[in-house]
Structure 1
Amino acid sequence: MIDLRRLHVLRAVSHYGTVTAAARALHFTPSAASQQIRQLARDLGVDLLEPQGRGVRLTPAAESLLAHADAIAARWDEAELELRAGEGEPAGPLRVAGFPVAVAVLLAPMAARLRSRYPRVSVRVREVEVVESFDLLFEGEADLAVVEATPSSPPASDARFDQRPLLDEPFDLVVPEGHPLAGRDGADLADVAREPWIAPLPESPCRTHVMSACGAAGFTPDVVHHAVDWNVTAHLIAHGLGVALIPRLARLTPHLPIVRVPCAGRPHRKLLTCTRSGGHRRPAVAVALEELRSLAAAAVA
């Protein structure tokens, strides 16, 4: 019989990309993780890892096994859900994760609503970057996450996760007060093609949205300043140092001399809810998703 703990180590190697990273996530030493996989290979009579440069990669047999492993993990969650069915109103711990804007505008008010309406649900909120949300879900350290769709995220077809659309969040052009576009109901990005820009760092998912929106308007922005926090971007704009695209849900410091202007073409980013496969049917997760959908609809109304 297959040892499911060893199977989980193999799943972790696939998820994190290396034995070392998988071992770190599982609190193993790399040698212990490798030993678990070697023993699993002996139990099955097939090779699961093969050399690739200085590292290793999964063999075709391992890839085939992983498809069954993901199905086993999903069925185990379903079994736990069925055992807890009929326990009455939602109860127990609910661990949620999200990037900063999602926590501030969606997850925090969701947690407050659940505390009022379902006192037996204990919500724990964790601010993380998008890639960490998927890691926490995979590790069983989070039950629900709000993530931004990015090219590096797992595909929608990934059987380990259940990703569902939540919100198309528009980006606004933000300019200083007194800017020629400040009084308009909308703006074409081409109107600011020759101005200095403030943009997220190159590794930020939002950087792609900014560059794509400007490219669609026919220009490459002259990025003079970079910022991580949207409020830092807002302060740079307030001092007349450039213009920027900022997501609609980003809560900026009040009373800054800046103006949001809706953009032609409606550049936006897609926000998703994500659980482990089948996790959306857990009672506490289901009521959390209901609240999130309500908050998301109101946020950009």
Structure 2
Amino acid sequence: MFDLHRLRLLRELKHRGTLAAVATALSYAPSSVSQQLSLLEGEVGVQLLEPVGRRVRLTPQAEILVAHTEAILERLERAEADIATSLTDLTGTLRIASFQTAAFTLVPTALGLLRDIHPHLRVHVTQQEPQKALPALHARDFDVVIAEEYPGDPSPRPAELEQEDLLEDPLYLALPDQAGGADAHSPAAALRSLADRPWVMEPEGTAARRWAMTLCRSVGFEPDVRFETADLLLHLRLVEQGYATALLPGLVWNGRPPAVPLRRLPRGQDTRRVFTAVRRGRSRHPAIQACRHALLQAATDASGTAPG
């Protein structure tokens, strides 16, 4: 019978890419990881890794083992969920990853609900953008990820992860007070009227940046992006101080009245999808269910206070 610990190391290597990354994630020495995988090769009786430059990649036989390991780990998570369901109180640690505005708006409310109902459940929260958090969820670094999906940029839906919608978050054109005239136009014309103004956007490579660039180009201009940051609160501050125009989601105001003029965006481009993702087989765990219920309640509250 194959050693499950070594199988998990092989799985980690598939998801993390390098022996060094596996060692760092699991607090092992790289030589120890390499030794354990060599022992696994001896157990299986075939080559599992082949060198590619300074790195290694999995052989077809290793990929077969990883697929079976995924099924084993999923079954073990279901067993863990069944054990937890049989208990009267929730304990242990729940690890949540969330992008910034959800962490700012939804997570504190959900934490309060969880604390009141399950005081012995330890909740650990990390702010991390979905493009990193979702692969980390698959690698078992997190239990729940709060993620976002922008119009025209659907997020991958791997079979190993289960998604559940939280809310549709409205998206707005936010302009400095001195940017007059935009309110007299249709949404597309309002965007075009700001073509010569400086913009703040999220960094290149993010879903929000792809959506924003596509939106501006669809109405006929290339935005003058002078400020780049993943911090949407800084986006808002730059707009409030008159330095930039921005495209901002409703959650950024956290129920407060907006201090800058807002304009609607063209139909079909005016909401982003906010959802939770968990590993398949983990969704029945009572801590996951309690977390999702609390987040859904927080999202319901936030939807009732969105600007506009």
Q: TM-score, normalised on structure 1?
A: 0.87
In the TM superposition, 1:93-112 aligns within 5 A as 93-112=93-112
Q: Cα gap change, 1:244/1:115 in structure 2, threshold over 3 Å: closer, same or farther?
A: same
Q: Deviations over 1:89-130 (max 9, x none)?
A: 545443322122111111110110122233343433332333
Quote the offset at 1:182 in angstroms. Answer: 6.2
Partner residue, 2:237: 235
Task: Count matched residues.
Answer: 300
2:222 to 220, 224, 244: 220
Which amino acid counterpart does residue 288 of structure 2 have in structure 1?
V
Q: Cα gap change, 1:253/1:277 in structure 2, threshold over 3 Å: closer, same or farther?
A: closer
Partner residue, 2:157: 156
Instruction: Specify every segment of 5 or more residues in structure 2 that has no aligned partner in the other structure, as ranges.
Output: none
Quote the offset at 1:163 in angstroms. Answer: 2.8
Tell me if the contact between 2:264 and 2:270 (Cα under 8 Å) persists in the aligned partners. Answer: no
Computed over aligned residues only, the root mean square deviation of the Cα atoms, in angstroms, reads 2.9
Q: Partner of 1:193: helix, strand, or coil?
A: coil
Partner residue, 2:53: 53
Partner residue, 1:296: 299
Tell me if the contact between 1:238 and 1:256 (Cα under 8 Å) persists in the aligned partners. Answer: no
Identity %: 32
1:6 equivalent in alignment to 2:9: no
CA distance in 2, matches of 1:156, 1:207: 20
Which amino acid counterpart does residue 101 of structure 2 have in structure 1?
V
Q: Partner of 2:86: helix, strand, or coil?
A: coil
Q: Cα gap change, 1:232/1:154 in structure 2, threshold over 3 Å: closer, same or farther?
A: closer
Quote the offset at 1:256 in angstroms. Answer: 7.8
In the TM superposition, 1:1-301 aligns within 5 A as 1-88=1-88, 90-134=90-134, 137-138=137-138, 140-149=140-149, 155-159=156-160, 161-181=161-181, 183=183, 187-188=187-188, 189-251=191-253, 258-265=260-267, 266-301=269-304
CA distance in 2, matches of 1:43, 1:144: 34
Quote the offset at 1:221 in angstroms. Answer: 1.1
Quote the offset at 1:184 in angstroms. Answer: 6.3
Larger CA deviation: 170-179 vs 148-157: 148-157
CA distance in 2, matches of 1:219, 1:230: 23
Q: Partner of 2:125: helix, strand, or coil?
A: strand
Which amino acid counterpart does residue 225 of structure 1 have in structure 2?
F
